Amino acid sequence: MTDLSPSDLAKDAAARAGVALVQDGMRLGLGTGSTAVFMVHRLAERIRAEGLRLRCAATSRATCDLAGQLGIHIEELDEIGWLDLTLDGADEIDPDLNLIKGGGGAHLREKIVAAASDRMVVIADPTKVVETLGAFHLPVEVIPFGVETTIVHIRRLLDSLDLTHRPILPRQRDGRIFHTDEDNLILDLSLDVITDCSAISSGLHAIPGVVEHGLFLGMCDLALVGAPDGSVIEM
Ligand code: 5RP
């Protein structure tokens, strides 16, 4: 790969460090997003060079398609059953390794895959490391049926938690309403600062119509943060 921007060099450094954790015979979860794209490329290189025998599940159609193009066979998560390691990106990482994910709209499958893994390792560039979660919008996957009433419930929840928020609208991509791999919608909550992650997590889970939110609390075991010079910091 040539002519990479500093940000891409950092992502690639993190991706290489993540892929260095892979051992022959492992069952792997493959994440989604631009950092995960580097990871899938680096993994394909190692498989080709070392003949690694792996079983892999993907967290999105996009990752499944890329892996297939690079010769990595993807199986359904249920065919594999349980995973040794998942490598995935993140939108924000706090000092306790709590995360916001879902910038790519894949956090539902990402959370299912991470929860079915002995170890979840996040690969990221340094812009993802924050003191407090919330500057990045919090993605919430909701079913399309009754979405306006789901939004009312979410607004009431945020008000009850004294969280200031901006209008809540379904995510758009390329001028159209975005649909997830499950054909659901994403509501992006602009909160600025999330002081009580557990309260918002349990509050959102209690709302009918909410499928899953992008807070990953206590799920990440290690974060590998790459830098443009190729160095990697472990968190
Ligand atoms: C997709 C995700 C991604 O992992 C997250 O958005 C980070 O993406 P990128 O590596 O492109 O910054 O959660 O749903």
pLDDT digits (tens, 9 = 90+) for 115-149: 999 999 999 999 999 999 999 999 999 999 999 99
What pLDDT is recorded for position 1?
60
* Ligand 1 atom nearest to 103, measured from its CA: 6
Q: Are 53 and 164 in contact (CB under 8 A)?
A: no
Q: Which two tokens stand for residue 166?
A: 């901006």
8: its two tokens: 């891409």
Please tell me the predicted confidence (pLDDT) of residue 97. Answer: 98
> Residues with catalytic annotation?
110
121 vs 102: CA distance, rounded Å: 16
ipTM (interface pTM): 0.99
User: What's the pTM?
Assistant: 0.96
Token digits of residue 74: 């993807």
Q: What is the pLDDT of residue 166?
A: 87
β-bridge pairing 117-124 and 83-88 = parallel
Residue 6 binned pLDDT confidence (cut-offs 50, 70, 90): very high
Spacing, Cα 124 to ligand 1 middle (Å): 9
Q: How much is the average pLDDT of 94-104?
A: 98
Residue nearest to atom 4 of ligand 1 (CA): 89
Whether residue 68 is predicted with pLDDT greater than 90 in this model: the reply is: yes
Atom number of ligand 1 nearest to Cα 36 = 10
